């Protein structure tokens, strides 16, 4: 208690003595306060900058960590995909090895024969030849297929196939004997004549005096009397007499063509040539011969047959009228049937014994 009293008395004394301090010390104390405030402000700014930098660093770290996580996940996905592909490759390798073993086993069980391949090739050539004959009437292609098949059969040198080869030779000779018509060539030739039809020269019709077969009034000798009216009448009479020609009834006549009729003659010629060309493409022999005969008649009656172009067209059309566009074609199925019978007999497990065909009880 005494100590507290002494402290209180000392405090009262100090407080009572403070107003008595020197006024000159007041500016020094105020300057110290400003310094302290500035130091505090600086410290606050420093601490604020530090906190801001720490936040930015944390954000950068978080973004880097997220990118690292994404990269790690992608790397893991890529690794999983690589593992899956490796597994698929292993499966494919296993399947390939199994397939190779199966093929090797098949080769070991039933070794391949060159004769089997050759017979299959010959059968294919025979099928081509038959189709070309039946569907397209193409003798050239069918003949080439048969000759190739016969050559392949000859290279086998198998005595058991001699009957098949005999049938080959017989069918080849039959095809060679067919009068094969070049349909494409005929069509192209007729198309060329159609293009050149307007250039063919027409015949100039001239009536000749046949003596007693042609009765025509002979013009009298004009009297030279110098009279104008008699000269005029005489000239008119001569012109009228020149326009009239009397011929016997049994004589062959030729039609005189006016200039405007020449156009229709050329057009009719072109149309008939088109009809002949269509008959060729359709292999219609009867219509072709009808068109050709009509064309030859027109060319001889109305065109100049002494011209080389007209004479060549007439000669070619006359040869064309003798063609058979649809000749009878031979049957070439016998080699194919015989070959297939031989191939069935040589199949594995095939037996010709009659006991093998009887059913088992």
Confidence of residue 27 (pLDDT cuts 50, 70, 90): low
Tell me, yes or no, whether 156 and 200 share the same domain. Answer: no
340 occurs within a structural domain: yes
Asked if the model's pLDDT at residue 252 lies above 60, the reply is no
d(CA 167, CA 165): 5
pLDDT computed for residue 188 by the predictor? 92
Q: Report the range out of 154-158, 177-181, 309-313 with the highest average pLDDT.
A: 309-313
Which of 46, 76, 106 is the endpoint of a domain?
Answer: 76
d(CA 244, CA 249): 15
57 occurs within a structural domain: yes
Tell me, yes or no, whether 141 and 190 share the same domain. Answer: no
Domain count for the chain: 3
d(CA 204, CA 331): 54
What percentage of the chain reaches a pLDDT higher than 90? 9
Tell me, yes or no, whether 159 and 199 share the same domain. Answer: no
125 occurs within a structural domain: yes
d(CA 84, CA 269): 79
pLDDT: which is higher, 107 or 309: 309
Asked if the model's pLDDT at residue 209 lies above 60, the reply is no
148 occurs within a structural domain: yes
Tell me, yes or no, whether 44 and 130 share the same domain. Answer: no
94 occurs within a structural domain: no
Determine contact, residues 178/327, Cβ cutoff 8 Å.
Answer: yes
15 occurs within a structural domain: no
Give the domain range for residue 64: 33-76
88 occurs within a structural domain: no
pTM score: 0.45
Name the CA radius of gyration of the chain, rounded: 60
Q: What is the number of H-type helices and E-type strands within the chain?
A: 11, 2
d(CA 107, CA 113): 11
Asked if the model's pLDDT at residue 222 lies above 80, the reply is no
CA proximity to 128, closest of 341, 326, 335: 335
Tell me, yes or no, whether 147 and 261 share the same domain. Answer: no
Determine contact, residues 167/338, Cβ cutoff 8 Å.
Answer: yes
Element (H, E) at 246: strand 246-247
85 occurs within a structural domain: no
Tell me, yes or no, whether 125 and 70 share the same domain. Answer: no
pLDDT: which is higher, 359 or 301: 301
Tell me, yes or no, whether 167 and 202 share the same domain. Answer: no
CA distances (Å), origin 104, targets 86, 114, 139, 197, 236: 27, 18, 44, 71, 112
């Amino acid at each position: 208690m005494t100590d507290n009293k002494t402290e209180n008395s000392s405090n009262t004394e100090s407080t009572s003595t403070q107003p008595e301090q020197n006024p000159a010390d007041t500016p020094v104390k105020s300057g110290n306060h400003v310094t302290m405030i500035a130091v505090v402000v600086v410290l606050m700014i420093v601490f604020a900058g530090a906190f801001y930098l720490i936040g930015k660093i944390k954000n950068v770290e978080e973004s880097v960590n997220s990118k690292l996580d994404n990269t790690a996940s992608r790397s893991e996905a890529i690794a999983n995909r690589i593992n899956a592909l490796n597994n698929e490759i292993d499966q494919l390798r296993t399947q390939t090895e199994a397939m190779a073993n199966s093929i090797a086993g098949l080769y070991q069980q039933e070794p391949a024969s060159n004769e089997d391949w050759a017979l299959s090739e010959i059968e294919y050539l025979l099928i081509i030849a038959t189709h070309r004959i039946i569907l397209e009437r193409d003798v050239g292609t069918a003949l080439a297929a048969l000759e190739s098949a016969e050559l392949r059969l000859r290279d086998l040198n198998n005595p058991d196939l001699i009957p098949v080869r005999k049938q080959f030779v017989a069918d080849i000779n039959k095809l060679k004997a067919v009068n094969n018509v070049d349909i494409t060539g005929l069509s192209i030739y007729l198309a060329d004549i159609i293009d050149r039809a307007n250039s063919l020269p027409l015949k100039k019709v001239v009536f000749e005096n046949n003596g007693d077969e042609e009765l025509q009034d002979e013009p009298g000798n004009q009297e030279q009397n110098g009279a104008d009216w008699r000269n005029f009448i005489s000239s008119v009479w001569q012109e009228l007499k020149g326009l009239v020609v009397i011929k016997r009834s049994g004589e062959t006549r030729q039609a005189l063509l006016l200039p405007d009729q020449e156009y229709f003659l050329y057009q009719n010629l072109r149309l008939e040539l088109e009809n002949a060309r269509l008959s060729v493409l359709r292999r219609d022999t009867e219509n072709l011969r009808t068109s050709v005969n009509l064309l030859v008649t027109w060319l001889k009656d109305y065109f100049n047959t002494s011209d080389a172009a007209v004479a060549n067209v007439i000669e070619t059309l006359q040869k064309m009228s003798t063609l058979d566009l649809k000749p009878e074609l031979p049957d070439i199925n016998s080699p194919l049937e015989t070959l297939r019978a031989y191939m069935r007999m040589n199949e594995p497990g095939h037996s010709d014994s009659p006991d093998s065909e009887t059913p088992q009880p």
